[in-house]
Structure 1
């Protein structure tokens, strides 16, 4: 029997394969302003970050100032791209169907984005009334606040919960909150998670056995 009573999933890159899609849109928009970056750069520097931090970084690379509606335009373009290209992470639906503990999702993205991508990938029914967004509390990873909020609302202490994350900032957030955290490394291009996560795994097929 697992020692964990609740599993808290990150969304982007853990439940839905959205990181390359969103970052490709961000790259295209940044390059419209002369940033001259590629997807590899974005996945290295933007993965797991909230959009304001990404925009701050982009503004240092551009040749002209970003327009005030940059984030609004990014949301519009990325949501359209998600509607066309988003897929669930391979094997995650089987995990959710067979998980014998409580679980929820805690993400740096806005709740509208979380719900959209879970709905598009047919995962939303698993998370009704169990969605926690950093935007609701205005605190972002690596601050552990969203995980602490999720755990408390679900009725558990941090030591009773397991976080599933794919980004360095998310792993640090979990550790900062006193949680165990399993790092999903399928897209860990910089090999960052192995030395900081409690354990790592590269396929969702492994997760149920690890629990």
Structure 2
């Protein structure tokens, strides 16, 4: 893929939901329940395909455009509150992620479609917050969320790193698309509970992920190959 792939890595950028924390089965269920309540005829598998890795404003735009449904006032806040309550009852860090990040010799950060409150809540619950304190970037900080490259470009700039020297760890097609549009290398992660449909990660590879892995105990080798 050219000279940029051979450039040294200076930064690893982690998505949060579905990568650092196994939140997607919980959040997709809560979102599906909320959408059903306002009359959107959709199931959790369709929600996963269409909305995993995207921000709530993008999801609301999608509803208005493709379903002709405008969510009532307070809908987003209600779904967010329900999701956080569900996190309190069962959110877990991905196996091996804390050990990997603690041992990582490269600088790292988080760049997520979630809002800052949810990010800190999720990382705090799972004991990961101290590993990323001061290096957590949300889609609320940019004008366009994933699949636009804005968030990853923002994170790289904040960390003082050129795009071609970044490796992004992502679990969603919008996230992979955004990272590639930012000129970054991407490794797709399929170890989350929402990836039971395709552990090979064919969708992620098709979107531009250079490698796919399903276990954080193998990520050191992925980073080395990147």
1:123 counterpart = 2:128: yes
Maintained 8 Å contact 1:87/1:121:
yes
| 1:193 match: secondary structure | helix
Deviations 1:53-112 (A, max 9, x none): 2234445558x7531111111111111111111111121112111111100000111111
Whole-Å separation in 2 of the counterparts to 1:182 and 1:65: 35
- The residue number in structure 1 matching 2:144 is 139
Deviations 1:2-46 (A, max 9, x none): 931110000111101111111111111111223232221211111
Whole-Å separation in 2 of the counterparts to 1:6 and 1:66: 38
Deviates more, 1:187-196 or 1:102-111: 187-196
Q: TM-score normalized by structure 2?
A: 0.86
Maintained 8 Å contact 2:55/2:145:
yes
The structure carrying a bigger helix percent of its residues is: 2
The list of structure 1 runs, each at least 4 consecutive aligned residues, that deviate by more than 6 angstroms after superposition, is: none
Maintained 8 Å contact 2:12/2:109:
yes
Closer/same/farther in 2, CA of residues 161 and 65 from structure 1, 3 Å limit: closer
- The residue number in structure 1 matching 2:81 is 76
In structure 1, stretches of 5+ residues that fail to align are none
- The residue number in structure 2 matching 1:200 is 212
| 1:192 match: secondary structure | helix
Choose from 9, 13, 20 the match for 1:8: 13
Choose from 30, 33, 38 the match for 2:35: 30
Give me the CA root mean square deviation: 1.9
Map 1:53-64 onto structure 2 (within 5 A). 53-58=58-63, 60-61=66-67
Closer/same/farther in 2, CA of residues 57 and 137 from structure 1, 3 Å limit: closer
For this pair of structures, how many residues does the alignment match? 209
